[in-house]
Every structure is written in C-alpha cells, then in structure tokens.
Chains A and B, each alone.
Chain A
Amino acid sequence: MKNLLITLLSLCATSTLFAQSGLEIMQKNEAQMSSKFQTVNLTMKLTSAKGRVKERTLEWQSSEMPQGTEKSLIRFTYPADIKGSGLLSIDENNVETMWLYLPALKKSRQISSKEKSGSFMGSDFSYSDISSEDLKDYTYKVVGSESIFGHDCYKIEATPISEETIKETGYATRILWVRKKDHMITQVNYFNKEGEHIKQLIANDIKDAGNNKLRAYTMSMKNLVKGSSTVLSFSDYNINTPIENEVFTQRNLSSW
C-alpha cells in the first residue's frame, strides 16, 4: 500500500515536472516571440486541392502593451478586389473586439471575435493560428525529443484546458516541435476532437529579424483534410520601432 502511494506520488510529481517543463519552454518561446511593436509585410500564396494558386499581399502592424492590451491592424494591398480591406483587432482585458473595413462599403463594421476556428481571409490559417496564444488556456506536456529539419527539438503536446477553447479553435490537441537552441516553433500538428490529424504547420527560414528577435520568414500550413495549402512569406520585419497608438483606431482603419 505504502509502495503504491509512493509510486502514485512519484508519477504525479513526474507528470507535474513535465507539465512545468513544457510550460517553461513555451514561456521562453513567448518571450522570444513577444515584441512591443512589430510591422511586417506578407505574401500569402494559397494553393487549392486542384492546384489553383491565388496570391494576396498584406501589411501587418501589431503592438503589445505591458498591461496585456494587444492591438493589430492588417491591411491588404493585393489583389485589386480586396485592396484596402483592413482588419483591426483590439484585445483589452481579455475582451477582443474586431472591426473589418471594406472600401466598397465605405465604413468599418464589427465582426465576431469568437469564431477563431474560421479561415483567415480564405487561407488555411485560422484566426487562432495567427493570434498569439494565451498560455493559461493550455497544458503543455513534453512528450519527447526529436530532430526536425536538422534541429534538435522538444516535442510538446498542447491540450486546451476548457471545452470552450476547443470549440473556439477547433483543435483538441496540438503537437509542437520547439527548437532547443532558441525555443522557436518549427512544426505544429493539429488534431481535432476525433483525434484526426487535420493540419500541419511548418515554420522555416528562421533568422534574426532585428532587435535580437528571431522570426520565421516562411510558414506553410497544409490542410490534410482538404488537400489545400497556404504559404506565408514574411519580409521587412520591423521590430520594436514604436507605432503610434493612432494606427490602431477605427479612424485609421477607415482612412484608406
């Protein structure tokens, strides 16, 4: 009986250790990814299951305030039929509000910030894939160690704490590969509630983007169910150059 108790206690301690270790790794990743201000240009290449290719270009500006307020503005610059369309997101005290500006409508309007599982502008990325992750919403467990693209990586299983997060994101589990040397995520496998592997993200061309911050310059997301894929190519990173607060306003969103 005593032995069994010791065994159980040690098992709990081991799993807690792994959980903490997973969380610590993710905290280091968060520290690497965080920046008070960031501006980047993106080219989004969408390839359908039938091989049809579409391209979008956009500019992305974001800011993170110490008190937890996150703001971002995404503005499409190509092609012509969506040029000028903008998406403003303000996350204040864990309440996120999003506005969409469409030049044809000549006004900005609120859109739902709850449907995070929805496709981001028709791509294979969902809104939750491109949003920064709240570490409090998940448990992170180190499940192994593997070499991916020549880099020694931690293999971490991320599980949402609440059903609400599963519903919002559409993912029941994710397996993340985090590079040991710099804590950058290089691959993510996404699983739905049925345990089906539905998507795969590969981040590569990771290099210094300025201000001692590493960034992936290419991210590709494969939808394994649909057979489509989206490649994001990043350029002109500008990290921690202050962005005026005025940028993240409906005034600026609608001034295109």
Chain B
Amino acid sequence: MKYNLCVLFALAHFLGYSQLKPQIGGSLEYDYFNYFETIDDKINGRNEGTFTLSLSSDKKSNVKWNSDIEFRNDLLNENRKRVMLKEMFFSVPSGKFDISAGKRILNWGVTEGVSPLNCINPLDYSDILDIEDQEIGEYMIKTDFYHKDISIEVLYIPVTQYSILPTMDSRWFPELETKAPHPLDPTQTLPVEYQYVTKKQNTKTPEADFGAKCKYFFKGNDISLLYFNGYSNTPISTISNFGFTGEHYQATIEEFTYNLQILGLGFERFLGNVGLKIESAYHIPDVEDSIISDEASTEYIHSVISLERIFQGGEVIKNIHPIILYSNESPLDENNFDNKDLQHIFQNALVGKISIGIGDNTEVEVTGLYTFNASDFYMKSSCKYALADGAKCFVSGTTLGGETDGFFGSYDNNDRISLGFSYEF
C-alpha cells in the first residue's frame, strides 16, 4: 500500500502537478446486519466500519489523477477485513486522445442492476446481496479517441484480477453434500471433508485481457459496440480428487478461470419520457472440456431490456422512479446452465425496482426479482433518511425464497435486516 501511494505521488510530482492543490474527500460508513435464522459454523451477521480516503488532482488541471483507498474492518467476519486500493490512475489528454494508466473501475454497461456489458471489472461476491461497491479495480492502460459524436476506447489489462467468491464459512457458500454412500456398503454413509484451493488455475495463458468499445451518439440514440478478449472474472468451482481414506471421503474444491471473448451491443434512448436501455452480449468461451464442465464451454447470448421513467410528485411524495428490466440468456447449443450457477443467475429473470422520494429527506426503495427458469425470488426494501448534507442513515430488509433448486431459493434461510450510517466529506 505504501509503495502504491509513493508511486502515485512520485508520478504526480514527475508530471508537474504537485504544485496544484490535491482534492481530499472520502466517506465513513457503518453497517450492521443480522440474519433472522442462525446457522452453526457460519458467519451470521456483519458489524462493519469502512473508511474511504479519496485523493485527486485539482479538477481544473489538464492532467487528472485519482485514488481511492479503502480501510474496512468487520468485528464478525475476519474475511471482510481489508485495506484496499480501489482505484489509482492518471489520465492525460492529448488532442482527440485521452491516455490513462493505473488501477480503475470501468462501467461499460447502460442498464442498471443486470448488465452483461460490464465485463471488465471482477466483483466482490463475499456478500452476494451487497451489490453496492462490488467492483474491484483492474490495472490497465487505456486510450480514448474522440471525434464529433464518436468515441473509441481501447484498453489492455496485463494481469487479470478475479472476483472474490464466498468462503466456506460464509452463508453464501453453496451447500455441499456432507455425506456420501460407503463404497462397500451403499446402505451406509460416510462424511465428506472438503479442502478449498483458492489459487485460480487458468486453462489458457497468458493472463492478459484487452478490449475495445465504440460509442456513437446519433439523433438521441446512444449506441455502443464492444469487443472483449480475456478471462472470465468469475471463476468456476469444481470438485475434484474425490478420494476415500477408509474413514471418510476427501474432496478438493478448485477454482478455474477460462479464456473468453465477448461481442456486445448497447443502446440507450428516450421515447418521450420513458428511458429505453438494451444490452446484448455474445459470450464465446474457450474452455478445455476435460477440465471444466460442458456447460462452461457453451456459447450464449445474454440480453437485457429495461424501461424507466421518473414521475414528478407533489408535496409529500416528491418523485417516483420505477424501473422494469427483463434478462434472458440463450445458450447456442443443447446445454442448459445450472440454476444455481453464480454466472447465470439471470437466465430468465424479471426485475422491478421503484424508488420513491418522500419529503425532502427520505427515500424508500423496493427491488424485486423473479426467475422464470427456477421459480425463485429476491426482494429488498430499504429506507434512507438524510440527516444533514452528506450524512445518511438507512435500514433495509431482504427476503429470498422459491424453489430450492434455484439460486435465490437455495438461500431461503438468508433473510436479513440491516441498518447503517454513512457520511461523505
């Protein structure tokens, strides 16, 4: 961390911007939540504080640099303690080009919540429901070219970062078979012990990603085309080395990532007062079938369409902002994806979200999701109250349910309630 900061300031000095006053900002957040049902040997809550320090160049300067460092501590969950450099990059404009380098988060998608085009940054899935602030920065070199209403972005990521998956003591770790039939007497069962190998193994080398995106604005239409060639950020977990010791079974859980190409299309425009957003991504995995399952090598198209509108209200209800989104994944061969596969949660899903501004300080939000393929659901209700400029307190409740062979249905004992406070400065 110290090294990273030294590099940043040395770079800023080298570039001659140290004479400009850096901007200092940040945030402080406290989160507490508890599950309605306690599960033995699992972490059953969160009691967490997060401090984020943001340093950036003077906004009037031509060359910009930006860094966000996060300090997080959780009294209930050791795995969530971290000091992380979330972003640290600089950007130099040169005529029609912007050249930037460093660790950063890029958002290529147009839709909210479910976005197949957001393929650059890995995600932190340590708490699957905590979707805010999930992206993990990637080190990259990026060039942007601008000409009239066209922009072209080209990026190179020398070393791929991977998504953080839930650990075995997490309530979001998939349920595994704890017993298996005795090899000599199938009427008897023996316990299964698992060993988790967190080191990611790739089916192809080198571990570099590159991508390009072209965006065109034409008569109210924002159209983007993109190409990505790299690694799947979310590893696939496989169980291997299923051995018998005489007293129990021993299995190893290994994580694999694979090479992947994505061709994407994004579209955004307003039809009167209604915002229409469409995304479609054609996934072309390059997987050695002998290592990972057949489903992983299946090519598929993931498409999302969303409609939204803001209704202006009156004295009490200030505004209402509903969004409705439909997501569909179409495999291009006879394989079907597992309903519980983290990479394929939104195979055939309808998402609805409504935000209601009440008075000057309160915002109520309800999000619901239903999957037609697995008949399971997720629902979250939250309320935020602005105490003062930059200071908010919030409370939320989440429930999951439906068929247990679905992703959300399998976590139907993970209903929870949370409260928190945040301050930005």
Interface check B106, CB cutoff 8 A: yes
Please, could you name 13 A-B residue pairs with CB atoms under 8 Å apart, sorted by A?
A48-B359, A52-B360, A80-B27, A80-B390, A95-B220, A106-B106, A110-B222, A110-B269, A111-B310, A112-B274, A112-B309, A119-B319, A256-B59
Do A79 and B310 touch (CB < 8 A)?
A: no
In whole Å, how far is A94's beta carbon from the nearest beta carbon of chain B? 12
- Could you mark each residue 111-149 of chain A with 1 if its beta carbon is under 8 Å from any beta carbon of chain B, else 0? 111110111001000000000000000000000000000
Which positions 266-325 of chain B face chain A at CB distance < 8 Å?
268-270, 272-275, 309-310, 312, 315, 318-319
Range for the number of chain B residues in contact with chain A: 35 or more
Q: How far is the CA of A228 from the CA of B91 in the complex (A)?
A: 42
Interface check A105, CB cutoff 8 A: yes
Which positions 85-101 of chain A face chain B at CB distance < 8 Å?
95, 97
Most buried by B among A80, A111, A225, A251: A80
New A-B pairs, 7, CB < 8 Å, besides A110-B220, A110-B222, A112-B275: A79-B390, A112-B272, A112-B274, A113-B270, A225-B315, A228-B360, A255-B91
- Please tell me which one of the listed residues A81, A106, A119, A256 contacts residue B107 in the complex, with CB atoms under 8 A apart: A106
Using CB atoms, name the residue of chain A closest to B276. Answer: A110
Which positions 357-395 of chain B face chain A at CB distance < 8 Å?
359-361, 389-390, 392
- Could you mark each residue 78-110 of chain B with 1 if its beta carbon is under 8 Å from any beta carbon of chain A, else 0? 000000000000010000001000000111001
Do B312 and A115 touch (CB < 8 A)?
A: yes
Do B273 and A250 touch (CB < 8 A)?
A: no
Do B275 and A110 touch (CB < 8 A)?
A: yes
Chain A residues in 8 Å Cβ range of B274: 112
Do A109 and B110 touch (CB < 8 A)?
A: yes
Interface check B163, CB cutoff 8 A: no
Chain B residues in 8 Å Cβ range of A114: 270, 272-273
In whole Å, how far is B65's beta carbon from the nearest beta carbon of chain A? 12
- Could you mark each residue 191-227 of chain B with 1 if its beta carbon is under 8 Å from any beta carbon of chain A, else 0? 0000000000000000000000000010110100000
Most buried by A among B268, B274, B312: B312
Q: How many residues of A contact B (CB 8 A)?
A: 34
Known: A79-B389, A110-B222, A110-B268. A115 touches B310 (CB 8 A): yes
Using CB atoms, name the residue of chain B closest to A227. Answer: B315
Q: How far is the CA of A117 from the CA of B144 in the complex (A)?
A: 37
Do A112 and B273 touch (CB < 8 A)?
A: yes
Do A118 and B312 touch (CB < 8 A)?
A: yes
- Could you mark each residue 204-246 of chain A with 1 if its beta carbon is under 8 Å from any beta carbon of chain B, else 0? 0000000000000000000001101000000000000000000
Interface check A83, CB cutoff 8 A: yes
Chain B residues in 8 Å Cβ range of A249: 146
Q: How far is the CA of A80 from the CA of B151 in the complex (A)?
A: 30
Known: A79-B389, A83-B25, A112-B270. A117 touches B312 (CB 8 A): yes
Interface check B425, CB cutoff 8 A: yes
Chain B residues in 8 Å Cβ range of A84: 59
- Please tell me which one of the listed residues A112, A255, A256 contacts residue B310 in the complex, with CB atoms under 8 A apart: A112
Interface check A55, CB cutoff 8 A: yes
In whole Å, how far is B234's beta carbon from the nearest beta carbon of chain A? 20
Interface check A151, CB cutoff 8 A: no
Chain B residues in 8 Å Cβ range of A48: 359-360
Q: How far is the CA of A126 from the CA of B217 in the complex (A)?
A: 27
- Please tell me which one of the listed residues A52, A80, A83, A251 contacts residue B146 in the complex, with CB atoms under 8 A apart: A251
Interface check B182, CB cutoff 8 A: no
Chain B residues in 8 Å Cβ range of A105: 107
Chain B residues in 8 Å Cβ range of A81: 389-390, 392, 424
Interface check B64, CB cutoff 8 A: yes
Q: How far is the CA of A79 from the CA of B319 in the complex (A)?
A: 22
Interface check A193, CB cutoff 8 A: no
- Please tell me which one of the listed residues A110, A119, A256 contacts residue B270 in the complex, with CB atoms under 8 A apart: A110
In whole Å, how far is A226's beta carbon from the nearest beta carbon of chain B? 5
Chain A residues in 8 Å Cβ range of B270: 110-114
Q: How far is the CA of A61 from the CA of B259 in the complex (A)?
A: 46
Chain B residues in 8 Å Cβ range of A112: 270, 272-275, 309-310
Do A54 and B389 touch (CB < 8 A)?
A: yes
